[in-house]
Every structure is written in structure tokens, then in C-alpha cells.
Chain A
């Protein structure tokens, strides 16, 4: 019982995060979008050492949320 509640809480939290992300970034707006933000952030954080993996992540993001 306790385990089930705990797992449900995990899923609820994930859902809330997902909803928040979509509310923040999913709508039509002039902002570049979460995937572009993620790509720019990935590039900056990885010091341009793995741009391909940043690009692959960006494509996945576009496929999943667009």
C-alpha cells in the first residue's frame, strides 16, 4: 500500500513537471522554445566538445514535444 502510494507520487510529480514544461514552453509564442533553449544550454555547458549529442538531444526534443 505504502509502496503504491510512493510510486504514484513519483508519477504525479513527473506529470506536474511535464505539465509545467508544456505550459511554459509548449504554447505558440515568439520565444525560441524549450528545445532551442536546451540546445543552447547543452552547447554552453559541454564547452562545444560534444555538439553532436546536443544536436541529437535537440532533435529528440523536437520530435517529442512538437
Chain B
């Protein structure tokens, strides 16, 4: 009996099914790998960056070293690839963010202003121009999309657009003047159009209602000030506090920590929709982003971007 228990424990550890205790935690969550795409031999992914999953379970990724976006079947088979190196229609120099709506796949390029729009078969449709680099991107099932703009000065707003590109609403999540990049953030919306923001260089996670009014603000790492160092004309932060955030279908918020976390770039802080700490999940490997699909599966990076992992999150009580 003891051997069985010990074996089960070791298996749990070896599979990186790790839940780490934190103050306020109410759940022990673990990750169970259910899919792995790309490895050192198959040349499927070279450096994946953005990821999204459509309602039919197809996965879309941007591949930075392959200058492309790729579509995978739900079981991981590569079914389509689009893009090549260049600045023409549907071409990339540095593909980055990606999200998909009911009909479209949106992708950004670090070196080409705007958003590339493809249909779900990855046929290039158009480019939506923007005056500034896009900091984060969210597409909605009805064709609406939201972006943050990276600016040197004040940039704390999320712009919600309709399918044709007209601005429907501006969410001003920060009106405080601060040093450069202090307002740069990752964001997501829930089904009620509540906005969640995780600051990249501040220990702040916030929720706003659909009208743009702040509902709550949390600091979960206790970081008062992020050290900065002069680089060129700027005093840039030394490390990211939060790298990314995602919401599951139950309204829970998953925030990927950066360089200040106990496990750098591996700790995912889970908060309730009211901002209460629920758990911390530690990813098996460092990741630059996380994604949660509509069924609650979590996607993150492995092998420095050559592999995309899909995990089932286990440990929630039935009542949750």
C-alpha cells in the first residue's frame, strides 16, 4: 500500500503535476498533459509565439522563425500553413500575437504596423492599419476585436472595435502618469465584456466592468516597485511582473508570472472573478504566454518554443 502511494506520488512529481501553496489558496490544481505538438525531429514548429483555439478545436499559432501562421487539427496534425518572409500581403517579418474569432484569424507582426486578417483556412484577407504597435489582441466570436497600443507616453487603454474597424469603446484602465512602459499590459474580456488587465511591469491585476468602471485591483506578489535600468534614452524595467493572462469559461482568471515569481515564468496565479486567489499552478517549463480554450484546457510552451503543450487542469471541486 505504501509503495503504491509512493509510486503515485513520484509519478505525480515526475509528470510535473505540481500545485504550489500560496496564501489564500483554496484549491490544489494540477496539470495533465493531453497533447503535444512539435518536437526536435519533426520540423512542425520552430518558435511558436501566439496561440488560439477556435470553437471546433482547431489550433492556430504564429511561428516566429518560420514567418508563418499554422493551423492544427484538434489532435495536433498540421493542416495548413500560410505566410512567408516579406512585407507583402500575408507575409511576415516577425509574427507575434494571434487570436481567432468565429470567422477570422488575426495576427500581428512586430515589424509591420497593424493586424493581418486571415479566414479560418488561413487565406489572407486584409491588413488593419494601426498607428502604433499592438501590445495585446483579443478577438470575439461576433467579429469584434480589441487591442492595446504601445506608446511611449500614456497608453493605458483598450480599444474595442467592430468587425469593420470602427472604435466602439475605449476602456481607460490607467490614468496615472508613470515611467515608460509602466502602463503596458496584457488583457482579456469575459463573456459579459468585463475587462481584466495584468500589468507587465507593475504588481497590479485589475477588473473593469463593461462600462469601464474599475471593480477591483489586486497585488498578489507584494512588489512595490520594479527596478529600472537606463538603456538608451529610457529607464526600462529589469523584469516582467506578469507576462500574460487568460480567462476560462467559468470566469476564473489565470495570470502567468514573470521574473519575480517563485518559479520564473512558470507560476500561473488563478484568481476568481472577484479577484480572490484560488491556486497557483506551476508549469513544467517556462512560457512566454498562456491560453485557455473554451473547454478549460491550458496551452503553454515547451522546448523553448519548438513544442506547444495542451494540459487538462484538474482539481476543481464539482461545485466550481
Interface window among B73-81, B99-107, B228-236, B292-300 = B228-236
A66:B200 contact, CB within 8 angstroms: no
A56:B236 contact, CB within 8 angstroms: no
B46:A43 contact, CB within 8 angstroms: no
Interface residues on B, range: 35 or more
Interface size in chain A (residues, C-beta < 8 A): 29
Q: Which residues of A contact B150 (CB under 8 A)?
A: 52, 55-56, 59
A66:B265 contact, CB within 8 angstroms: yes
Assuming the contacts A14-B65, A52-B151, asked whether A40 and B111 have C-beta atoms less than 8 A apart, the reply is no
Chain B, Cβ-Cβ closest to A58? B236
A66:B233 contact, CB within 8 angstroms: no
Q: Which residues of A contact B22 (CB under 8 A)?
A: none
**Per a CB cutoff under 8 Å, which of B43, B111, B265, B304 touches A7?**
B43
Q: Which residues of B contact A40 (CB under 8 A)?
A: 231-232
8 Å CB interface, A37-66 against B: 39-40, 43-44, 48, 51-60, 62-64, 66
Q: Which residues of B contact A48 (CB under 8 A)?
A: 233
A18:B304 contact, CB within 8 angstroms: yes
**Per a CB cutoff under 8 Å, which of B41, B110, B233, B259 touches A60?**
B110
B110:A56 contact, CB within 8 angstroms: yes
- For residue B96, CB closer than 8 A to chain A, the reply is yes
| Interface positions of A (Cβ within 8 A of B) | 7-8, 10-11, 14-15, 18, 22, 32, 36, 39-40, 43-44, 48, 51-60, 62-64, 66
Other A-B pairs beyond A36-B229, A53-B111, 12, CB < 8 Å: A8-B41, A10-B43, A14-B46, A14-B47, A40-B232, A56-B110, A58-B236, A59-B240, A62-B240, A63-B258, A66-B239, A66-B240
